[in-house]
Amino acid sequence: MLSNKNIILGVCGSIAAYKSAILVRALIKAGANVKVILTQDASNFITPLTLATLSKNPVYTQYFEAETGVWSNHVELGLWADYMIVAPASANTIGKMANGLCDNLLTAVYLSAKCPVFVAPAMDLDMWKHESTQENIARLKEFGNTLIAPAKGELASGLYGEGRLAEPEEIVAFLEAEIRKGLPLLGKKAMVTAGPTYEAIDPVRFIGNHSSGKMGFALANELANLGASVTLIAGPTAEKATTPMQRIDVVSAADMLEACLAHFAESDITVMSAAVADYTPIDVATQKIKKKDEGFSIALKKTTDILAQLGKLKQKDQVLVGFALETNQEEAYAKEKLEKKNLDFIVLNSLNDKGAGFKTATNKITIFHKNLEKTSFETKSKTEVAKDICAQIIKLLK
């Protein structure tokens, strides 16, 4: 859930600040990118060096570093964050957040942030129970912030009761659970194919294509980020998934067919973006073919049309998406493929469009739905294209 998420951690002046080191380590281990903001009082409890070392990022303590002349841009920090956590949150900082006071970098970033904010208080029992603190907590909730409630236990004062900072692993688990709640594809299973297939001629040579797998991997990552449990079936490619998922590596069209048939029935969403070979050699030489004659020919046979096979097996509650990469009569071929293969929609991209096709970081697509409704998109990064495609999938599921 936290893989590649950008997290601002605000640390306030509290003896519980020592736990922020453990929290940073846990967030990093979960795959997050972490930037830490220390209040002036917090730096009395834990050093910037400790948290910078653990987060692998500079630690921010004030608006302006006089020695270096570096300005900490609170607006940029607020916009960078996918999530903001204030832990430990002192009574003083909670009061400032609740009343819009902005006299330090942490509260300035808070007021600039567009992301969800989580507040994990830590203070003595009487401070936590005080009416002003509870009113400030209520105001923060009204503003849309989420409280990670303090735990009961022995406090620094020697008292026993509420006020202990939630343990770092509890904070991480709480954050992940909250993220899951808002994911539109939570509980859905998705299967994605990506990359080329290699059809062997002999132990050395093969028939292949220029597909890098970038589009398929972008789709698999986006589906996983939206909460789906993803099975990625990948042909030979150097691409790496950036989110947790099941990956099955295959080589040939026959390998990909076998893997797809094994997982299709349990998939709610299937996106077939791999560039599967249409033909494969009839006979594969067991030894390297030597260069002897002036001419050389290879007898080929059609591979099984995987997308067509899945279209025949498709159930009403399954979403099946195909791709069409064309060089001429693009729309006509895409519409024909859409109907013949029983797809919910097809994604057309043309090698005639600048920025589209194999090995590029960008793509330009047009989507045709079953009713032939056409939606065209501008050239975008493949990550953004994946978001557009997944948005169409979510519409269908609704």
Tell me what the pLDDT averaged over the chain comes to.
93
Residue 386's φ and ψ, nearest 5 degrees, are -60, -40
Residue 288 counted as an annotated binding residue: yes
How far apart are the C-alpha atoms of 105 and 94, rounded to whole Å?
14
Nearest to 277 by CA among 260, 300, 296: 300
Contact between 117 and 145 under an 8 Å Cβ cutoff? The reply is yes
Q: Is the pTM of this model over 0.95?
A: no
Residue 35 counted as an annotated binding residue: no
How far apart are the C-alpha atoms of 161 and 74, rounded to whole Å?
36
| Number of Cβ within a 10 Å radius of residue 260 | 25
Q: Which residue has the tokens 């004030």?
A: 62
Residues in the chain with pLDDT < 50?
A: none
Taking the CA atoms of the chain, what radius of gyration do you get in angstroms?
A: 27
Residue 158's pLDDT is: 82
Beta bridge partners of 229: 189
Residue 341 counted as an annotated binding residue: yes
Nearest to 331 by CA among 365, 381, 382, 379: 365
Contact between 45 and 15 under an 8 Å Cβ cutoff? The reply is yes
Q: Which residue has the tokens 């294209």?
A: 385
Q: Residue 122 in 3-state DSSP?
A: coil
Q: What is the pLDDT of residues 285-323, one digit of tens each?
A: 999 999 888 888 999 999 999 999 999 999 999 999 999
How far apart are the C-alpha atoms of 106 and 111, rounded to whole Å?
9
Residue 288's pLDDT is: 94
| Number of Cβ within a 10 Å radius of residue 219 | 30
Residue 291 counted as an annotated binding residue: no
Q: What is the pLDDT of residues 231-265, one digit of tens each?
A: 999 999 999 998 889 999 999 999 999 999 999 99
How far apart are the C-alpha atoms of 286 and 289, rounded to whole Å?
9
Contact between 319 and 393 under an 8 Å Cβ cutoff? The reply is yes
User: Which residues are annotated as catalytic?
Assistant: 209
Residue 349's pLDDT is: 87
The token pair at 199 is 């059809």
Q: What is the pLDDT of residues 319-350, one digit of tens each?
A: 999 999 888 888 999 999 999 999 999 999 87
Residue 278 counted as an annotated binding residue: yes
Structural domains of the chain sorted by starting position, each given as residue range(s) with its CATH number in brackets: 6-181 (3.40.50.1950), 189-397 (3.40.50.10300)
Tally of CA atoms within 13 A in the half-sphere of 268 that contains its CB: 15
How far apart are the C-alpha atoms of 255 and 193, rounded to whole Å?
12
The token pair at 126 is 């009487």
